[in-house]
Chain A
């Protein structure tokens, strides 16, 4: 039974299949945000970049933290765990009009 985490951020209360946009106030990638400075060109190419869409896979069955899938710039499908400190960086995707 997946746990849930207590947070008002939409990603913490999402369901599998829900879409979000990774949105960084300074347009930094997810790895660059964690490091606090730009990554090498090679790692930047592999980073979750500002504006990319992620889809909720499930909530981690031990921690309750969201697992999100996304596609990197090489076209490779990825899954990344989002820790509670980074939930604010994921904004619900607006439905198409």
Chain B
């Protein structure tokens, strides 16, 4: 198993990107992608060959806690090398109606719900968070700097 590091595309997304820019296939239609939260350990668990949220290594929060994936809302890829992409606004989950556990990763995927959603990228949180009942959980808006918001590069 190859594990993933912060801000890295899953193999599924790398294949999608390469197939699109080399015109092997047409890119998916423009639309929203979503940020989920995962309790997977910081190292040695997330498998970069996972194709969907159903993969055993993903460990997403349960919806029974009031949790739902949030719209990621990224900027256009920056004119730089490496080009990066990041969320433009604060992202907030909750309020939680039961304690959902400790989140370690943000996982970007292509559907608001369901384990059939394809995974795009994984982002290691700068510090883990364990929200309590009634809490909401906020992530900072990105700035293009590493460690601020959910930033991904090819």
Contacts and interface: CB of A to CB of B under 8 A. Distances in A.
A47 B134 contact: yes
A62 B113 contact: yes
B112 A29 contact: no
B96 A60 contact: no
Contacts of B98: 34
The contact size tier of chain A is 20 to 34
The contact size tier of chain B is 20 to 34
Interface in A56-91: 57-58, 60-63, 65, 67, 72, 74, 76-83, 86
Interface of B: 63-71, 89-98, 111-116, 132-136, 138
Given A30-B97, A39-B135, A47-B95, 16 more contacts: A31-B134, A34-B95, A35-B132, A35-B133, A46-B92, A46-B95, A60-B68, A61-B111, A61-B113, A61-B115, A62-B114, A81-B63, A81-B64, A81-B113, A83-B63, A83-B66
